[in-house]
Amino acid sequence: MIHAIIDYIEFLKKEHGLHVTVHDWDGHFSGFMGQLAPYNIHANPYCLYVKSCREVWETCIARQYKVVERCKNGLFYGVCYAGVGEYVVPVYYKEELLGFLSISGYKGDRNRIRSMAKTYMLDRKTMEEQFDTYLMDTPPDAAFIKTVVTPLAAMLALLYETSPKPAAPVGDDYLYGHLLSYIHAHFDRDFHLETVAANCHCSVSYACRVFKCKTGTTILQYLKGLRMHEARRLLKQTTLPVGEIAHMTGYNDANYFTNVFKKEMGVSPTGFRRNE
């Protein structure tokens, strides 16, 4: 079921241009967040930039309670505190809220950039450039979102119903979010756990422990999965040479990249592209 869920999220992105993220509530999906982690963060550069500030991350986490409250009324469209428009689709099992799906990445309110930049001491020009470049102009119709995303919510509810119930999650929410943000922003370059921990102002052991508790996988395993995910996308959708794709996904040695890819996928990058 988890693989069908991931495939459907990818389908929504490829066929309909929808950027869907899955948000757990009270640990209902904690046993699967290692596999769903690539879809647990708004990875567009604008969101990654504003959330590079600790206070912004804390505000984002705090405001999830407001999102959950609005979920009681079903699907809705809103604009986050950073000015990004998004649809929210609640995921219920019977009458219990398991989490919600966010369909995000739309230009909601550009006027919020000024106050955000001033409050959190972010570079206003950078925010404006990324807002204009990476956010989409117009969100789709709500009826369309309901039609194509409700099946995904139903799949997640079925996953919860048919799977062993995980223990409540542990660890620091801010640190976990910041780790995800850092990994997504730096997966395409040299990557060292010491640098990650220093950036998050904690020890390597604590960062690794929190990430493992939240996702069920290690930081380096998750990093490899993210790199392989991007490599597959580039092989499918571009004609870039394998060596260039290796470099774009954080591998300085194309031969090493090929060996890792073949071990993970059972076929070489060239063979994968040919089979597509």
Give, for all 276 residues of the chain, the pLDDT tens digit: 888 999 999 999 999 999 999 988 777 776 777 778 788 877 788 888 887 777 777 777 777 778 888 998 999 999 988 899 999 999 999 888 999 999 999 999 999 999 889 988 889 999 999 999 999 999 999 999 999 999 999 999 999 888 875 554 445 777 887 888 788 888 888 888 998 888 877 888 888 988 888 888 899 999 998 899 889 988 988 888 999 999 989 998 999 999 999 998 899 999 998 886
Q: Which two tokens stand for residue 270?
A: 């060239």
Q: Residue length, the chain? A: 276
Phi, psi at 252, each rounded to 5°: -80, -20
Q: Which two tokens stand for residue 236?
A: 């499918």
C-alpha 139/C-alpha 137 separation (Å) is 7
Phi, psi at 79, each rounded to 5°: -120, 125
Distance (Å) of CA 123 to CA 80, 136, 181, 182: 19, 21, 18, 18
3-class SS at 136? strand
Cβ(152)–Cβ(2) below 8 Å:
no
